[in-house]
Amino acid sequence: MKIQLNTDKNIQGSEALEKGVSEKINHELKHFDDRITRVEVHLSDVNADKGGENDIQCKIEARVEGMKPMFVESKNSSKEVALDEAVDKMKATLKSALGKMRDQ
């Protein structure tokens, strides 16, 4: 499973951030890693310098073999919480989609 992190100009991308995101994705989605070919994580600050509640947006797109890409998003005031919420949503989406495929 390849993991790609993208940030906008308002969020400083760093090796530490990239490592943390990769570790989180690998740990939380390891049950699906034989089916997922790529995961793209997009972190952005929608209000830029203005601040505000829920201004950090995390979008995750997972590419699964034989299926259309799956997409989830979460907004929070913290990068970490936005990422955690988006990963939880992706895990639920994958469980549902792959469970339905298995049941057919």
Predicted pLDDT of residue 98: 84
In one letter, which amino acid is 11? I
The arithmetic mean of pLDDT across residues 89-99, rounded, is 91
Predicted pLDDT of residue 99: 78
Task: Give per-residue pLDDT as tens, 23-79.
Answer: 999 999 999 989 999 999 999 998 766 666 778 999 999 999 989 999 999 999 889
Q: Is the pLDDT of residue 12 over 70?
A: yes
Question: Which pair of structure tokens corresponds to residue 38?
Answer: 């790529």
Q: Which of 53, 3, 55, 51 is nearest to 27 (CA)?
A: 3
CATH no. for 2-103: 3.30.160.100
The answer to whether 16 touches 35, Cβ cutoff 8 Å, is no
**At residue 39, what are phi and psi to the nearest 5 degrees?**
-125, 125
According to DSSP, the β-strands at 56-64 and 36-45 are antiparallel
Predicted pLDDT of residue 84: 96
Q: Is the pLDDT of residue 11 over 80?
A: yes
Any idea where the domains of the chain sit in the sequence? 2-103
